[in-house]
Every structure is written in C-alpha cells, then in structure tokens.
Structure 1
C-alpha cells in the first residue's frame, strides 16, 4: 500500500510566513499609538477625579500629568473639551493618528474618548 504524503509545501510555507510577517509588522506599528491612547485615557480620568473645578485648572492638571507620563505627543490641553454634567467634570478628547506602513501607504486611526 502506498502512503500519501502529508505536509506543507515550500510555497505554502513562504506564503504563510509573508502573511504572518505582514500582520506582525502592522501590529508592531499600531502598538505605540494604542499605548498612547490608553495613557491619555488614564490621564484624563485622573484629572477628572482630581477635584479641579475650573477649565484652567483642568488644563493645567492635564499639562502637568502629561509632562510626567511618557509618550503623550498627539494631544495637548488645548485639544480637550471640558464640560460639567451634574456637578461633575467631563473631559472629552478626539484626535487622528497617522501611521506610515510603507512609504506611500498610511493607516489613519481616529481616537476619541471621555472621562469616566
């Protein structure tokens, strides 16, 4: 009885290696942007809970915390929308992040969030 061979061909292996490699490169380029968003979100939440009662106090607190936190480059205190809802400070933010994948190809991510 002849046994049928099983396995993956060299072409199939190279195809999947290219696919996995491309996905890994995109994820590695996305990670800093997502990490920055999470840092901004945590700073906004901390500032909202800090007890600042006026818009200038909130902006100053955000600037102080963002200068201490590593990696906040996409947003400043001027980009924050600060409102009050039931005597509680609500801070909203939104920004776009452009990530270069390959020279003419860019990925644009639109981030937005608010304090909790």
Structure 2
C-alpha cells in the first residue's frame, strides 16, 4: 500500500514565510507613504483655497492660515509659485519627502501640483 500522495498540493512553509515577509515589507513602506499622501492632499486643498486671493501677498497669507489649521510643514506661503493667468491666480508648489528604508537606501517622493 502506498500512503504518499503522488502529487502534493499547497504551499510549503518556506513559500508561506517568503510571502509573509514580502507583504510585511510592503506594509511597512505603505505605512510610511500614506501620511505623505494625506499631507499632499492637505497642501492641494490649501492651494485651491489660496487661489481666491487677488494679490500675491494675500494668496500667501491665505495659504499660511490654511497651513496653520491643517498642520502641515512641507510647504509654506513663501515656497509657493504664484502667477496670474488671465483674471485668476494660479498657485503652484513642489516639494520632496524622503523615507529611510534600510541602511543607505531611501525612498524619495517628489510632489508637485497647482491650483485648479
């Protein structure tokens, strides 16, 4: 009588361990990236509110007020590129975020946007 199955099916322990390690690493990186995405959304919201100003100093002041409420530090009013396009203001911004991964490895995220 042969008790061993001819074709085994399923995942081995090492295969399962490899999948768990990869998912864990992806989860750790995602947990560090998600706050930067939330910060980007807050900056975009502030830029869209600041475009309602009529002068460059007024646009920067509106942006700084929203920045104080939303509590982000990556961009301030003085970092904005404010231009007039026709009869409306266009507020543009760009910044970088670095996330330390391991040893000398960093993940650099470059964010760039403008008011709509």
Normalised to the residue count of structure 2, the TM-score between the two structures is 0.91
Structure 1 residue runs of 4+, over 6 Å off? none
Q: What are the residue-to-residue correspondences of 1:39-78 with 2, within 5 Å?
A: 39-48=42-51, 50=52, 52-70=53-71, 72-78=72-78
Q: Structure 2 unaligned segments of length 5 or more: list them.
A: none
Return the alpha-carbon distance in structure 2 between the equivalents of residues 4 and 103 of structure 1: 43
Comparing 24-33 with 96-105, greater Cα deviation is found at 96-105
**Who is 2:114 aligned against?**
114
Point out the structure with max Rg over C-alpha: 2
User: 1:57, 1:4 → 2: CA distance?
Assistant: 73
Distance 1:57 1:112 in 2: 22
Query: Mapping of 1:1-116 within 5 angstroms?
Result: 2-48=5-51, 50=52, 52-70=53-71, 72-116=72-116
Query: Tell me, which stretches of 5 or more residues in structure 1 are unaligned?
Result: none
Could you tell me whether the CA contact under 8 Å between 2:84 and 2:90 is conserved in 1?
yes
Give the number of aligned pairs: 113
In structure 2, distance between residues paired with 1:42 and 1:78: 17
User: Please, what is the CA RMSD of the aligned residues?
Assistant: 1.4
- TM-score (norm: length of structure 1): 0.91
